[in-house]
Structure 1
């Protein structure tokens, strides 16, 4: 529970906990996007292909999406701080293994598996503890604003930081950087992070539900990845994934009727605001990762720019995300969250249009800066209210489940962004019309923005909050 000092600020320990949470979200988002500017360096060093590195990136995002729901449930059983620490340990070990990887297989184990599993364990506690410690929509808007800002910055600045490190030292040093940040988080969280609720070690864990939900999500994303090779295989995998997820929901209802504890209670899907908020989260992160992957790959593989040049152009997106995210509390007090999400999608789609228009009118890399800046403004302005809409829709007893579901939906969006837009782009990179492939890939990202805009339009109309404390 939030306590304030006489100056209206949060206690020092709580401020340090918020820094740890924000850094945790930053490094996980950074890990998902910094590889994009190192594709050519990694493929050359490990004697693999662009598609091989893309597979490692997508598998990392996929592992997060598939295991986030079980990870959220485990926080209630094992304890939120314990899962946070275990996740950090696995993530750090994966970063070190990736830094020393002699081939693609070891990179996949360290990056895609260890870091993916670590993220699935550490991210749900970040959002659960933030919801429990910061009471009121306004206070959470401030806290989630900081966390979402660092998450957005990690995603869009990953190409910049990763490109600089890869250019100045080596792509391997980028993974060493991740390990150092994890060590810093561990030191901060050790004393500052407290868990206000005891772990329920006697609570059963739905192993069957965890397997079904993971398999269903994996099949769907693998289907999208197969679109370039065999459209029939793609359709078969997507249908199989949908059937498995249907089976999963059927088992959830059966277990509830029998009085047993399912992985996810069906009450999570009966809240209109939360359901629409989850759709907006999915589309937002699809746009974040889709834009990052497509633009980075296009500049390196088609235009021939190096990692530092590619990373530098994303400074514009980073600045845009930072500016709008830092204004999250002020905007939450003046405007309904629905309005902020709608505006965010509209601005982001407009940024994509500006990116394609100016980019086609001029050949220089810097012609992309205005569009990328506007995209950053739109993304940063809607990440926080979407999280707040979903997390605030349920009480303390369901924070573990909704946090896991929320992060799973968001990371599924990231996976789909890298897989869908990446598949469209990579399919045309080696053709005689690579610019056309880039155009279609970005149009697919813009279409996702229109889907998110439509979902946001139907969110309940609520008044802006005025109870946000100053940090």
Structure 2
């Protein structure tokens, strides 16, 4: 019996790690494949924004409900449902021949990821009831998740180079099927007899509000901020999100207990996490475009070019936890925010022909800065959360991060897309193209995704194709300068706000960080667990 039990523990750990590995890999593997997706599906840059946000938006919105469903109706059941949906969604993405098909697959992936993410650690809590064993299992689990995030861009580059962009999705299918075969006979079923009820009104309102907000942000680059559609979407987003707060304040078991935001450190740390996340993914998204479309690198070469970011995060994330435990959470967040902000300001000097030797160390700085911030912010959230609600606090932190990632692509992407046509016009006028013709070319190129390969449809031009390409490259990089500047200022604000809002005595802070549950990419599970035979 003990041998069987031990076998189940090992299999549960393997299954949970494989599920988490797929999700974390998918978060980062797609970035380097975006230019290939754009060329293959003939989509605009806003279409690429949706390729990211269709996944992260659904994941963020459903993360809390996914855990509640598992608690009420069976964690194994919803882990398997999530695994199946994620695998099916990956296959749909791989077979996609149109953008709408790809986005549908990404939504299915997001639904599956929400169920997988929130139930993986719950399964480990059941399989490893002893504190020491559980800590070791969670350490391996989170370590593998970190590896997946770090190597994702490189794996994405290799797979895209070998088998084009569908390969990055198809790779999930055999992993998902293997995990499913291991999980079905081996995972124990468990429920929480005291699980919260499903807050359906709150869930519907938060999905509707976030969807309207993100749609308005992304589509404003083409429709314009004064468009009736954009104004209507913004108004609807405000109505839905205000209604969400109204409902959450009155229901008995809310999706998001608003009382937690009465805790100053909890609110401040979540706000800083949101801003930090908003300032981080967008730059990586456009650096992938820069290395491939502007500098002409292959997908694999572009993956290697962005590797210093992952190395910086991987090296400093463990150090950040130790610094927080010794000096309190404020120091690493302030230092990390300043380092990351400086790296973004340095990137405003980027040019189309910048040699890599002048860029790699700046990308390493960005990774170091981000790595120093994230773990202490998680510790701050968890240390400020009442112990009986630690699992919920962790879930809110991770959902908040996903919302930030979604807004990062939407907000920073919109900044680039709105600057791009203006910069193209300026570059063309500077090369002797008449103003009216320059504006017409700028709007056509921007609508086509900014790719010079579409310039054949522009008709006879008074400049050579080479000069047009140079103008487009410079216009794109000038647009990136604005985005890098805003991202840097946003994260500088994180450092300043952390210094002001996370003020505690060192003794209090060190004690809270030491007592806080381990910060992970997925929600921690602290609940009454009953195992079914």
TM-score, reference length from structure 2: 0.74
Deviations 1:360-392 (A, max 9, x none): 496224432111111111212222222232234
Does 2:66 match 1:71?
yes
Q: Distance in 1 between matches of 2:480 and 2:325?
A: 39
Q: Distance in 1 between matches of 2:19 and 2:340?
A: 25
Deviation at 1:80, TM superposition (A): 3.7
Q: Distance in 2 between matches of 1:378 and 1:192?
A: 41
Distance 1:239 1:144, change over 3 A: farther
Q: Distance in 1 between matches of 2:208 and 2:390?
A: 24
SS in 2 for 1:232: coil
Distance 1:152 1:200, change over 3 A: same
What is the aligned counterpart of 1:292 among 275, 278, 284?
A: 284
Deviation at 1:460, TM superposition (A): 4.3
Q: Distance in 1 between matches of 2:489 and 2:125?
A: 32
- Which aligned pairs between 1:239-318 and structure 2 lie closer than 5 A? 239-255=235-251, 260-318=252-310
2:510 corresponds to which residue? 463
Q: Answer whether contact 2:348 2:480 (CA < 8 A) is retained.
A: no
Q: Distance in 2 between matches of 1:392 and 1:183?
A: 38
Distance 1:129 1:114, change over 3 A: same
Q: Answer whether contact 1:424 1:440 (CA < 8 A) is retained.
A: yes
Does 2:344 match 1:352?
yes
1:172 corresponds to which residue? 166
2:80 corresponds to which residue? 85
Q: Answer whether contact 1:300 1:306 (CA < 8 A) is retained.
A: yes
Deviations 1:418-438 (A, max 9, x none): 111222223444624222101
Distance 1:420 1:366, change over 3 A: farther
Q: Distance in 2 between matches of 1:106 and 1:434?
A: 28
SS in 1 for 2:417: helix
Q: Distance in 1 between matches of 2:130 and 2:339?
A: 30
Deviation at 1:65, TM superposition (A): 2.0
What is the aligned counterpart of 2:489 among 439, 447, 451?
A: 447
1:219 corresponds to which residue? 212
SS in 2 for 1:327: helix
Q: Distance in 1 between matches of 2:275 and 2:155?
A: 25
2:234 corresponds to which residue? 238
Q: Answer whether contact 1:101 1:107 (CA < 8 A) is retained.
A: yes
Deviation at 1:439, TM superposition (A): 0.4
Larger CA Rg, structure 1 vs 2: 2
Deviations 1:278-299 (A, max 9, x none): 1222233223311211211222
Runs of 5+ consecutive residues of structure 2 not aligned to the other structure:
1-5, 428-474, 519-533
Does 2:436 match 1:393?
no
Deviations 1:295-317 (A, max 9, x none): 11222333333312211111111
What is the aligned counterpart of 2:108 among 92, 108, 114?
A: 114
Distance 1:22 1:329, change over 3 A: farther
Q: Distance in 2 between matches of 1:14 and 1:460?
A: 42
Distance 1:463 1:193, change over 3 A: farther
1:102 corresponds to which residue? 97
What's the Cα RMSD here?
3.6
Q: Distance in 1 between matches of 2:314 and 2:263?
A: 31
Q: Distance in 1 between matches of 2:61 and 2:70?
A: 16
Deviation at 1:183, TM superposition (A): 4.7
Runs of 5+ consecutive residues of structure 1 not aligned to the other structure:
1-10
Q: Answer whether contact 1:99 1:176 (CA < 8 A) is retained.
A: yes
Deviation at 1:332, TM superposition (A): 4.1
What is the aligned counterpart of 1:342 among 329, 334, 344?
A: 334
SS in 2 for 1:447: helix
Deviation at 1:118, TM superposition (A): 1.1
Greater alpha carbon shift after TM alignment, 17-26 vs 241-250: 17-26
2:362 corresponds to which residue? 371
Q: Answer whether contact 1:95 1:176 (CA < 8 A) is retained.
A: yes
Distance 1:101 1:324, change over 3 A: same
Q: Answer whether contact 1:283 1:452 (CA < 8 A) is retained.
A: yes
Deviation at 1:147, TM superposition (A): 6.0
Distance 1:383 1:55, change over 3 A: same
- Which aligned pairs between 1:17-166 and structure 2 lie closer than 5 A? 24-110=19-105, 112-126=106-120, 154-155=148-149, 157-166=151-160
Q: Distance in 2 between matches of 1:77 and 1:223?
A: 35
Does 2:450 match 1:408?
no
Deviations 1:118-173 (A, max 9, x none): 1222223346677997999xx97x98876666556544543322122101222111
Q: Answer whether contact 2:12 2:124 (CA < 8 A) is retained.
A: no
Q: Distance in 2 between matches of 1:332 and 1:192?
A: 38
TM-score, reference length from structure 1: 0.83
Deviations 1:241-297 (A, max 9, x none): 133111111112222xxxx32322222222222212212222332233112112112
Distance 1:403 1:332, change over 3 A: closer
Q: Distance in 2 between matches of 1:92 and 1:374?
A: 35
